Structure 1
Amino acid sequence: MTPDPAAHAATWIADYRARAEATDMLCAATDTAPWQAMFEELAAVAPELDHARERVQRHATDIGTGFRIIGETDERPWPVSPVPLLIDAAEWAQIAAGAVQRATLLEQIVADLYGPGRLVADGIIPAALPTGSPYFLRPMVGLEPPGGRHLHFIAIDLARGPTGEWRVIADHLRAPAGAGYALENRLAVGRTLGGLQAKLNIQRHAPFFAAFRAGLAALCRRADPRIGLLTPGRYNPTYPEQAHLARYLGLLLVEGADLAALEGRVYVRTVAGLKRVDALWRRLDPRLLDPLAFDTHSQIGVPGLIDAYEAGSVVLANAPGAGVVEARAFAAFMPALCRHLRGEPLKLPNIATWWCGGAAEQAHVAAALDRLTIAPAFGPAPLGLPGGAAAGAAITGAARDALLADMARRPQDYVGQEEVRLTTIPTVIGDRLAPRPFTLRVFVARGGDGDWVVMPGGFGRIGEAPDDSAAAIGEGLWSTDVCVHGADPVAPVSLLAEPGSLHVRRNPGTLPSRVADNFYWLGRYLERGEALLGAIRVLMGNSIDADGGAVLPPATVARLVGMIAGAGAATYPPDLGRAALTTFARAAMEDGATASVAALNRHARAIGEASRDRLSADMVRLLEAPFPTQRGMLERAGSLQRRYAAIAGLSAEHMVRNDSWRFHDLGRRIERAIAIARVVRLFGMDGLGAGAATDDLSTLLDLADSQISYRQRYPGGLTRVAVVDLVALDPNNPRGLAFQAERIAQRLARLPVLGDDEMAEPQQAQATALNALIATATAATLDADTLGDIERRLATLSDAIARRYFLQGAEPLRAVGLTLA
């Protein structure tokens, strides 16, 4: 801790103000006491600024914040600045009032475009303005949205100019992103600057999210509605944010394949049948929502969704087609639209914009090209701007000629916008503060009473270069928390419900079939990887490592190699020499193009990424941990083994015993049972079962992780009957076959059934028969044929589980005895 945080903070501020411009947020502040308090808090926890940046970044990583660049497969950590943007309550009140006015105006415009169409008919806007946009969805014309409202959640990007004025640079209505990142920024910065909340009376985000959730629920036709967040899936760049929002708001995270439209209603496919969905906060491109209404090639939408929407049985936030007013071309008409529809000027003016669809405007933009930013009018980049928006002065040579030529051919595809010089804020660059430009995204949502509410703060994006313009800043290099502070104390509001407003229940909630499938295969991949790693370690420790123990005989080594190669982990080695086995073992553990341990880990990691709304941050971190890099294979194998053990421990001790856990455990048990049946058949049988070699039996105990149990029970030595009984038939051995069979039957017995006749479903009956077969077997008579039959039964049981509980493509929506809820 810094001996004198106040002196430290004062030094930082003085050094910064000597280098920053007077228009900077800190330098322009009439009251620097809040900034002094913030830097004192920062100095108290991290006297070095680079340490402060590392600390807040570590908190963001612990929270699980991440994002993905389009085209990349791996997520990146979410970049957070340790220095929040401070805005006093008086200034924020003006921003909030302007945001509410703009949200109201946007609702009026959208309602007219898809309703009476008076704005075009009366000549307020040209017809090409809406119809020229790819986001204008003609099938939505004339459809009355449930509750009569098209917009429920919007985002507005603001820029602050050198004179302190705030101006709108973009509206986001299709699938506004960033609210989850604002929440995560607050969590990360709050954990770093724990005392700042009380010192500055910072307004909280929780009331905003509670109001938004209440607003969606108020439009549904049921008192206890089921609300989902519709995501494109884990490859979407903002999927981590979506998962975080779903978990925070208590929404069901669903993909298009999870949903089905039937008889004018929308249902989610769950392990207990179809369950009704009343509202969807969609993050899916509206053109992909329903292949029957929009893009017929969409494979991630819900056929019939728009019919259910038209029937009023499902609320969509926002209404499909609302994104038409996002177009930059609309910015040129917003001042006139506000005066026409609201009878007042914009409280948050746009940056000056000229749509080239008018001859005079086109001529102005062409003449003032070097002083403007040239941008696409309707979203997609036109031929003259293949890279998107750019400063006109930076477009030279052949590129400039191509732009002017295409602007002459299709002027309606372009807009010219004034170049905005942005205000800066303090940002940690290296080990000192430096001024960097920023933009602010503000979020507005409808509350339970239908009125607009504004998130106090939003989130800021910080540019990389000191002179970045609004067009160049893009997504920014860093993000920052935005703190609205004031003199009045802030009540500690959260999303916790009022006492007595909820009935206590132990029903774990809705489990979509896709999620059950993911948890089942997460268990199988983890167990398969652990079993394969165990076989590799036995091979390395006994046949490759000279100090690892006695060398196994060739016949036993051949069985190990055959088992590993037969699993698809690596191709057969040319011989059983030490060099060939070393290469073989390394490929089985690390080769990325096979069913190696590394490949199985990647499968598990992908499932973890897709299920992060239901997994703890610790579990996600273990699944996403990079492959070990220790020098020796045995060291890497040991590191992986400890990781598998940690994941198993989290599953056993931290997961609630709900259906998600049952499917995860089922996957583990079925995979382990198959592996045990196979190794008993390979190493516990000799010919017709007359006896097995000692090395084979010892290897079997190693593979079943049962050496200690056997030695304690039978100190006299190895016998085939005793080993087989312990590994295959002892119901008290958690690594044994009988133990798995019992648990499989127990897990299936607790899963929901579709009928009400109390008869066992096929998968339950198969598990009961398998358990009975193993429970009545004896080690003396257990033979290879019986073990092979057990393996086949387990595979058949797995298929039955998949048919019953998981998505199977075009399966009938209504099963016999199925009740829709």
Structure 2
Amino acid sequence: VTQLTAAGAAGAAAAAGKHVVLLTPGPYNETYFEHTFLARYLGITLVEGKDLTVRNEVVYLKTLAGLERVDVILRRLDDAYCDPVELRQDSTLGVPGLLQAMRAGNVLVSNAPGSGFMETPAIHGFLPGIARELLGEPLLLPSVPSWWCGEASARAQALAQFSEAFLMPTYPRGLAQPWEGPRLGMELGLQRLADWRERIEQVPDLFTIQADLPLSHAPRWEGPHIGSRAAMLRVFAIADGRGGWQVMPGGFTRLAGEGQPGVSMQLGGSSVDTWVLSSQPAQPAPVPATPMLGAAHPGRAAKPLAVSSRAAENLFWAGRYAERAENNVRLCRLVLGSIESSDERDDSVLDVIGELVVACGLLPTGAPQPRASLRVFERSLVAALAESAGWTSVGQNLASHVLAATEIRNRLSNDHWRMILAARNDFGDAMAAACTGASGSGDCGYYDRPRVLAALDHLGMQLAAISGAQGDRMMRDEAWRLLFIGRHIERVSTLSTFLEVFTRHGALLHRSGFDLLLHLFDSTLTFRALYPGRTDVPALVEQVVIEPTNPRGLYGVLARLRVKLGQLTPPASPAGTGRTPLPQWLPAVEALPGWDALCRRDESGQYTNLVQACDQLSSLVGQLSDEISARYFSHAGMAGVRVRP
């Protein structure tokens, strides 16, 4: 099967300097691989419906730089889902207002809504006549023999010629059918036409009859042996900008699903590599004299593709989820590794443990507290680690991280992506093996404590590897800065919470609480080297708050966060709105309480300044996160636009 894609019009527009995007249903669509391949090959932006917005009958792409006008949309989305305002109201894949922007002539949609009729099987019966009428020549490749039953003579011919054939629906699958039973389609196999004659005569236009066309087969490894599946080759041609068409090298070979007579990606089909064999040694591919679409011209810097707000938002949350999981794993390891069945531990430390696991989402509000029963508390905590626990457990953080990473898969190296998947899958398998009868109700039944701790230890190493991949294997563009910012916002929030809860409960005055906080800040080795034998709060504050070189020192994290905020390009905004620069949402380190103030006790012996500073930072980074979402992701209040040159 040869497909001439509408990428030709899109390619010509890209060559003319227009902003071209390819609209895809998203990564869960069965042909998403083809969408990403075409977008990369053509050098255009791959977008989903939520990446686009219509303002004043003009389509814009939401990017970190603001709203950028879109001139051409190469549509790979079904007609009915394109615009929830005028078509399917339940569609979450389309762009509200898209049809009105098209009517106004402000955007060209290649594969315009309505062109889907070309995919009806009924059109195959008319292709020979269309070719003779429009081209004055027969088809180079014959069409599959088809008869549209809405044409009386064609219907009579097909029913007289065949006793069995494929009975295909003429119209899209979403339309209602005037009979009970299974929907039509090639997946049902050959049908006895005599059994359908009465229904065909009642509503003939709904039916198309296709002859059985035996397909070529390709080998496929199926477990212990090599099997065979029906195969179809799909190739593409694009306009070359000079009035001609060029067939793209290679193509997609699709294999039928198991037990399917026809090839359909929606019915379990798959893609395989396509090799072109030659009787001669392969020659080196010549370098094209003209640049590919989207490529830089000689002497001109390459234009980076726009970073969509959706990609930036998922990078931002990928950073937050990874940091959150890492902090929660460290907390769980310390809690489970230190609490005992006896009541020998200080009550203040038990209160801290109970409050922290709730504050970090490891247990819901109202869960059993360690003071009442350490055993019940521990069982509840272990039961809540699983992804199915029902709240923001470690498993849920890992699952959310996978979802965010799925949306930015094209920005991650293979190793990075595999580590993210492995962290979720390995932890789920390890917890299932270590714990039986677990539920979100607070009862874990039986669990193997050493195996639970081993699972947390292994997950901690995997999360450390993911952190290294984020810092060492990604382009340092503005989207990466959002990932860095997301991770550091989460770090400031979590570390502030840790320090505030420990200080407020007076747990730092006890050796067990002091050591626990050092572990949570991952600063034990450094502190013991710098302050051997000391367990005083001033030394602790110096190391985990003031010291700028500590990667988990609170003020140092804040300073690095403000630097990255200042490096983000402000999005275009209406004149006179006076948006506060992002770094100003956080105080400079110089404006925060210094070491003397943080270590000062009030009349009741409490470190009030330290508690207030932690509360302030935790609140401010929460407000900052909301502002970043409004400014860069949803573009709330962004009436003005920035047109990309």
Shared topology, TM-score over 0.5? Answer: yes
Post-superposition shift, 1:766?
1.6
Distance of 1:428 and 1:270 partners within structure 2: 43
Residues 516 and 327 (structure 1), Cα distance of their counterparts in 2 relative to 1, 3 Å cut: same
Distance of 2:535 and 2:488 partners within structure 1: 27
Matched, 1:801 2:595: no
User: 1:734-773 to 2 correspondence within 5 Å?
Assistant: 734-753=551-570, 754=572, 761-769=580-588, 772-773=591-592
Counterpart in the other structure of 1:573: 368
Match of 1:644 among 459, 463, 467: 463
Counterpart in the other structure of 1:484: 276
Distance of 1:500 and 1:532 partners within structure 2: 45
User: 1:19-418 to 2 correspondence within 5 Å?
Assistant: 99=2, 103=4, 152-153=6-7, 216-219=10-13, 223-262=16-55, 265-291=58-84, 294-295=87-88, 298-309=91-102, 313-367=106-160, 370-380=163-173, 382-384=177-179, 386-390=182-186, 395=191, 403-418=196-211
Deviates more, 1:265-274 or 1:652-661: 265-274
Residues 567 and 508 (structure 1), Cα distance of their counterparts in 2 relative to 1, 3 Å cut: same
Residues 661 and 686 (structure 1), Cα distance of their counterparts in 2 relative to 1, 3 Å cut: same
User: 1:631-670 to 2 correspondence within 5 Å?
Assistant: 631=434, 632-670=451-489
SS in 1 for 2:236: strand
Q: Is the 8 A contact 2:351 2:370 kept in 1?
A: no
SS in 1 for 2:626: helix
Match of 2:511 among 690, 694, 700: 694
Q: Is the 8 A contact 2:317 2:483 kept in 1?
A: yes
Provide, for residues 452-511 of structure 1, a one-character-per-residue CA deviation record: whole Å limited to 9, x for no partner: 222344232334679x64479975665432223335644425799489824464875422
Residues 423 and 152 (structure 1), Cα distance of their counterparts in 2 relative to 1, 3 Å cut: closer
User: 1:452-467 to 2 correspondence within 5 Å?
Assistant: 452-463=245-256
Counterpart in the other structure of 1:73: none
Counterpart in the other structure of 2:498: 679
Provide, for residues 629-673 of structure 1, a one-character-per-residue CA deviation record: whole Å limited to 9, x for no partner: 344111110111111101110111122221111111111111111
Deviates more, 1:371-380 or 1:624-633: 624-633
Distance of 2:188 and 2:553 partners within structure 1: 71
Distance of 2:557 and 2:188 partners within structure 1: 69
Residues 621 and 263 (structure 1), Cα distance of their counterparts in 2 relative to 1, 3 Å cut: same
Please list every run of 5 or more consecutive structure 1 residues that lacks an aligned counterpart in the other structure.
Answer: 1-94, 104-150, 154-211
Provide, for residues 82-103 of structure 1, a one-character-per-residue CA deviation record: whole Å limited to 9, x for no partner: xxxxxxxxxxxxx8xxx5xx85
Residues 615 and 775 (structure 1), Cα distance of their counterparts in 2 relative to 1, 3 Å cut: farther
Post-superposition shift, 1:805?
1.6
Amino acid of the residue matched to residue 539 of structure 1? V
Q: Is the 8 A contact 2:167 2:207 kept in 1?
A: yes
Distance of 1:591 and 1:301 partners within structure 2: 31
Distance of 2:306 and 2:48 partners within structure 1: 14
Residues 362 and 653 (structure 1), Cα distance of their counterparts in 2 relative to 1, 3 Å cut: same
Residues 484 and 509 (structure 1), Cα distance of their counterparts in 2 relative to 1, 3 Å cut: closer
Counterpart in the other structure of 2:380: 584
Distance of 1:290 and 1:480 partners within structure 2: 33
Residues 333 and 561 (structure 1), Cα distance of their counterparts in 2 relative to 1, 3 Å cut: same
Counterpart in the other structure of 1:814: 639
Q: Is the 8 A contact 1:461 1:475 kept in 2?
A: no
Q: Is the 8 A contact 1:375 1:416 kept in 2?
A: yes
Amino acid of the residue matched to residue 814 of structure 1? A
Post-superposition shift, 1:612?
1.2
SS in 1 for 2:273: strand
Deviates more, 1:414-423 or 1:424-433: 424-433
Residues 794 and 375 (structure 1), Cα distance of their counterparts in 2 relative to 1, 3 Å cut: same
Aligned pairs, how many?
601
Match of 2:392 among 595, 601, 624: 595
Distance of 1:686 and 1:471 partners within structure 2: 66
Post-superposition shift, 1:732?
1.6
Provide, for residues 705-758 of structure 1, a one-character-per-residue CA deviation record: whole Å limited to 9, x for no partner: 110111011002211111122112222211121111101110111111246999
Residues 767 and 238 (structure 1), Cα distance of their counterparts in 2 relative to 1, 3 Å cut: farther
Distance of 1:307 and 1:452 partners within structure 2: 31
Distance of 1:474 and 1:282 partners within structure 2: 18
Distance of 1:674 and 1:473 partners within structure 2: 45
Please list every run of 5 or more consecutive structure 2 residues that lacks an aligned counterpart in the other structure.
Answer: 435-450, 601-608
Distance of 2:594 and 2:47 partners within structure 1: 41
Q: Is the 8 A contact 2:323 2:487 kept in 1?
A: yes
Amino acid of the residue matched to residue 514 of structure 2? L
Q: Is the 8 A contact 1:684 1:696 kept in 2?
A: no
SS in 2 for 1:484: coil
Counterpart in the other structure of 1:716: 533
Counterpart in the other structure of 1:791: 618
Q: Is the 8 A contact 1:378 1:413 kept in 2?
A: yes
SS in 1 for 2:509: coil
TM-score scaled by length of structure 2:
0.83
Amino acid of the residue matched to residue 530 of structure 1? E
Amino acid of the residue matched to residue 219 of structure 1? A
